[in-house]
Amino acid sequence: MNHIAPGARAGIYHYDEIDRRFVGERVEQFRKQVERRLAGELTEEEFKPIRLMNGLYLQLHAYMLRIAVPYGVMTSVQLRKLASIGRRYDRGYGHFTTRQNLQYNWIKLEDTPAILHELAEVDMHALQTSGNCVRNVTTDQFVGAAADEVVDGRVYAEILRQWTTLHPEFTYLPRKFKIAISGASSDRAAVRVHDVGLLAKRNAAGEAGFTFYVGGGLGRSPFIGKLVREWVAEEDFVAYLEAILRVYNQYGRRDNIYKARIKILVHELGLEKFKAEVEEEFARLRGPKYRLDPEIVAGIRAHFAPPPFEDLPTRSDALERAKAENPAFANWVAVNVAEHRQPGYAIATISLKPAGGIPGDATCDQMDLIADLAERHSFGELRVSHVQNIVLAHVKQDELFALWTELDAAGLGTANAGLIGDIIACPGLDYCALANARSIPLAQALSARFADPIRQRAIGELGIKISGCINACGHHHIAAIGILGVDKKGTEFYQITVGGDPTLTAAIGDILGPAVTETEAVDAVEAIVEVYLANRTDQDERFIDTLKRVGHAPFKERIYAAD
Amino acid sequence: MPLIENGRIGEDAWSFAPDGEPVPNDRPVIISFERWQAERASFDGRNAKLGVRLKSGTLAGAIAPDLDRFALVAVEFAKFRDGRGFSTARELRERYGYTGEIRAVGHVIPDQYQFLVRTGFTSVEAPEDTNPESWANALTEITVAFQPSLDETDPLSLLRRKLKVG
């Protein structure tokens, strides 16, 4: 029925004529807005939020265009289009972001309408990827495949995508607004550091409902989201969010950009007062108008029906043989492959963090290859994870070796998902006008230092996240080892935090000591790792658990001993 | 200043009486919310229509008890980026059942017109040099909406469908 999904088999939301008409109208609207800006009818101040809500952000050296990948899920055809745009209008690559989107860092303003037009050809756009509106709703990158999934987050993320698109009341909020949904027992979406974090679950009757955390966020004032309601029934899902946003839109601070996020409102009002305001709105909104009808949910769920899986044995002999014959492949499987709920299938993570590489970057040739592989091995569908990797969610175990062989040949076979080399880094001073320090060279140095896959695996689960300024786009607060770039009299320094946690047991890391230089930072991270390895009770004690047990002292002593 | 109504420049029957200046008794006049609070007794027995102008920080609840005294509520946008007014209008309509005119005043741009209409505004005071075409166009350029407007109650209309305004 349409041109975006090979065989229409993949679990993606299929646009129809109304969706296409909408995106087409938005492209045309933006073209006219650009004209009105050029004619002087719109001032630069007036044009700025319009441009931002179309994904266009002015960086240090050029415009950046951020393309929306709703909840990180796209088709191979869409990825090929992104590759082709990167070749034609950028410098031959794209950057996958922590919001599961893709951005181009070298875009010309005058090319933007043409790019948006090309995106519309594959049912894509750049709407609401920036600006003070509700941004792309993110979810678990293993959604619809994970063995521990309870509720399919895509269904509700798509409902929110629709509900938040050009919302008449909530497009000029005090500040940006980010929502994440997790529907599995492990939180892979970092829900407690979002403005609204949702845990989708089921009650005893099997009905879907949501736990709401509000007021989480990083930036210069990090907060862990607070529990606002334990259970919101599916039919009240939209009404409850509408109530939260209406309270925020009316009472959120507008006098200071750094105090305008909902986390500050929740903090300043106090949780109980905030809850009371939301409940009051909710009680009124709860009528038929905002009721999420089961028919709507069922209609959207139909888009995400499972692909036509084959009946396969749980254990793949081909996989076991390949693992036995090829240790590098066996290591990749152990690290980058997760359990699928369908027997005989697996979830494969393609790391975009090669040793010495730029986290989240992919060349257009790599994107084309990934698109081909997604078509051959994963029903033409792929996901972007919030840790800036790509996921092929439905790979036959029998085909994992063939997949890895091609990935490895293209420099995409790095076995470090969830390990120390799987670094999140913001664009930093190489691109960003806000940054105090560069993030990318430090990420490159660290991943090169820990390049050895065997050593990485021996260290185990340990995330490094790097932000080039206190706006914390690199999520350093919630990293096991977080690194924050600071400016000291014109020189780049790095402050190290430890003990952050992005999961449901969310925690903000603590500062270990004075900031260090870039070279010292790499050595300091290595020292932290060595202290951890020397102190852990056994291989199963994770870094953050050892840290909790032994405290900061042995780490501080080692790093700052010379001072 | 030009008044925009239904996508066109319309006749403005209202005038604003700045604080401290006399309020004419023979025609529709808008006064500030602050003046209303200070001098409300002086408007007892007034026959001509009265309107009230809310600063952007003044939310719907503040005027709610007195809404039956006003044929018009003007909601000020100090800056077009300050979107509180959208919630103010919606609260006036949905929560307090206000059926009079709601007018957007202050800094508003045509690109917000459809949002204004969909949250319950009936008119907009536009700047002197505004381009009427941009306002007309703003009502028709997007024909699909993803949320219910004020007058809709059908639950199945909650998500995406064709828009009726414009």
B25 Cβ contact partners less than 8 Å away, ≥ 6 residues apart? B46, B47, B48
pLDDT of residue A289: 83
Residues 79-108 of B with CB under 8 A from A: 80-84, 86-88, 90-91, 94-95
Pick the residue from chain A with its C-alpha nearest to B132. Answer: A41
| Six token digits for residue A77 | 């055809």
pTM of structure: 0.94
pLDDT of residue B156: 47
State the amino acid at position A387 in one-letter form. Answer: V
pLDDT of residue A5: 45
Burial status of residue A274 (CB atoms within 10 A of its CB: 0-12, 13-18, 19 or more): buried
Give the rounded percent of residues in chain B with a pLDDT score beyond 90.
Answer: 83
Mean local confidence (pLDDT), A315-339: 97
pLDDT of residue B162: 53
Q: What are the DSSP calls for A96-133, one per residue?
A: E-TTS-EEEEEE-GGGHHHHHHHHHHTT---TTSSSSS
Q: To the nearest 10°, the Cα dihedral for A286, A292, A293, A295?
A: 180
pLDDT digits (tens, 9 = 90+) for A482-532: 999 999 999 999 999 999 999 989 999 999 999 999 999 999 999 999 999
How far is residue B122's CA from residue B4's CA, in Å, rounded to a whole number? 9
pLDDT digits (tens, 9 = 90+) for A451-487: 999 999 999 999 999 999 999 999 999 999 999 999 9
How far is residue A289's CA from residue B151's CA, in Å, rounded to a whole number? 10
Name the phi and psi angles at A64, rounded to 5. -110, 135
Q: Which helix (H) or strand (E) holds A467?
A: strand A464-467
pLDDT, chain B, mean:
91
Mean local confidence (pLDDT), A231-257: 96
pLDDT digits (tens, 9 = 90+) for B145-155: 888 776 665 55
Q: Which of A41, A165, A169 to mutate to test the interface with B (most CBs of B within 10 A)?
A: A169
Give the rounded percent of residues in chain A with a pLDDT score beyond 70.
Answer: 98
Q: What are the DSSP calls for A275-325, one per residue?
A: HHHHHHHHHHHTTGGG---HHHHHHHHHHTPPP------SS-HHHHHHHHH
Number of Cβ within 10 Å of residue A409's Cβ equals: 10
C-alpha distances in angstroms, A216 versus A11, A15, A187, A263, A502? 30, 32, 15, 6, 11
pLDDT of residue A293: 87
pLDDT digits (tens, 9 = 90+) for B7-22: 999 999 999 999 999 9
pLDDT at A188 over 60: yes
pLDDT of residue A403: 98
pLDDT digits (tens, 9 = 90+) for A17-59: 889 999 999 999 999 999 999 899 999 999 999 999 999 988 8
* Residue B23 touches partner A, C-beta closer than 8 Å: no
pLDDT digits (tens, 9 = 90+) for A331-372: 999 999 999 999 999 999 999 999 999 999 999 999 999 999
Residues shown for chain B: 166
Domain A6-121, CATH class in plain words:
alpha beta
- The yes-or-no answer to whether A145-302 and A424-560 have a common fold is yes
A180: nearest Cα among A218, A131, A220: A218
A385 Cβ contact partners less than 8 Å away, ≥ 6 residues apart? A72, A100, A141, A188, A349, A391
A499: nearest Cα among A485, A514, A511: A511
Long-range contacts of residues A341-344, Cβ cutoff 8 Å, at least 24 apart: A341/A145, A341/A146, A341/A147, A341/A149, A342/A145, A342/A306, A342/A309, A342/A312, A342/A394, A343/A311, A343/A312, A343/A313, A343/A314, A344/A309, A344/A310, A344/A311, A344/A312, A344/A313, A344/A314, A344/A316, A344/A396, A344/A397, A344/A398
The domain made up of A317-409 is a member of CATH 3.40.50.410: no
Side-chain half-sphere CA neighbours of A541 within 13 A: 13
Sheet holding B50-54, edge to edge: B8-10, B3-5, B123-125, B101-106, B72-77, B50-54, B29-32, B15-16
* Residue B115 touches partner A, C-beta closer than 8 Å: yes
Mean local confidence (pLDDT), A220-224: 93
What does the DSSP 8-state code read for residue A421?
T
How far is residue A378's CA from residue B117's CA, in Å, rounded to a whole number? 45
A172 closest CB neighbour out of B86, B156, B160: B86
Mean local confidence (pLDDT), A540-554: 96
* Residue B22 touches partner A, C-beta closer than 8 Å: no
Angle (nearest 5°) at CA A277 between A276 and A282: 95
| Six token digits for residue A386 | 């919030």
* A75 dihedral zone (left: phi>0; alpha: psi -120 to 50; beta): beta
Angle (nearest 5°) at CA A160 between A141 and A238: 130
Whose structure tokens read 């390895």?
A533
Angle (deg, nearest 10), helices A112-121 and A17-38: 180
pLDDT digits (tens, 9 = 90+) for A255-282: 999 999 999 999 999 999 999 999 999 9
Per-domain residue ranges for chain A? Answer: 6-121, 145-302, 317-409, 424-560
CB pair distance less than 8 Å for A284 and B95: yes
pLDDT digits (tens, 9 = 90+) for A123-178: 999 999 999 999 999 999 999 999 999 999 999 999 999 999 999 999 999 999 99
pLDDT of residue A561: 78
Angle (deg, nearest 10), helices A553-560 and A543-550: 100
pLDDT of residue A232: 98
Residues of A in contact with B146 (CB under 8 A): 162-167
pLDDT of residue A8: 52
CB pair distance less than 8 Å for A287 and B119: no
Residues of B in contact with A284 (CB under 8 A): 94-95
| Six token digits for residue B123 | 């008119």
Interstrand relation of A337-339 and A93-96 (parallel, antiparallel or unpaired): unpaired
- Domains, chain B, ordered by start: 3-162 (3.20.20)
Pick the residue from chain A with its C-alpha nearest to B140. Answer: A25
| Six token digits for residue B96 | 């307090």
pLDDT of residue A307: 93
CB pair distance less than 8 Å for A296 and B158: yes
pLDDT digits (tens, 9 = 90+) for A106-119: 999 889 989 999 99
Q: Where are the alpha helices (DSSP H) in A90-122?
A: 112-121
Give the rounded percent of residues in chain A with a pLDDT score beyond 90.
Answer: 89
| Six token digits for residue B21 | 């200046």
pLDDT at A66 over 50: yes
C-alpha distances in angstroms, A208 versus A17, A104, A211, A294, B53? 30, 38, 10, 11, 45
Do A85 and A104 contact (CB within 8 A), yes or no?
yes
Which pLDDT band, with edges at 50, 70 and 90, does A3 fall under?
A: very low
A424-560 CATH fold: Sulfite Reductase Hemoprotein; domain 1 (3.30.413)
How far is residue A60's CA from residue A42's CA, in Å, rounded to a whole number? 23
CB pair distance less than 8 Å for A170 and B86: yes
pLDDT digits (tens, 9 = 90+) for B95-139: 999 999 999 999 999 999 999 999 999 999 999 889 999 999 999
Mean local confidence (pLDDT), A389-395: 98
Q: Tell me the CATH number of domain A145-302, given options 3.30.413.10, 3.40.50.10680, 3.40.50.970, 3.40.50.300.
A: 3.30.413.10
Do A483 and A427 contact (CB within 8 A), yes or no?
no
pLDDT at A6 over 80: no
Whose structure tokens read 């390049």?
A451
pLDDT at A248 over 70: yes
Q: Count of A–B CB contacts within 8 Å? A: 118
pLDDT, chain A, mean:
94
C-alpha distances in angstroms, B109 versus A173, A175, A181, B106, B130? 16, 19, 34, 10, 9
How far is residue A558's CA from residue B1's CA, in Å, rounded to a whole number? 70
The ipTM value here is 0.94
Do A495 and A478 contact (CB within 8 A), yes or no?
no
Number of Cβ within 10 Å of residue A259's Cβ equals: 18
CB pair distance less than 8 Å for B146 and A162: yes
pLDDT of residue A555: 96
pLDDT at A2 over 50: no
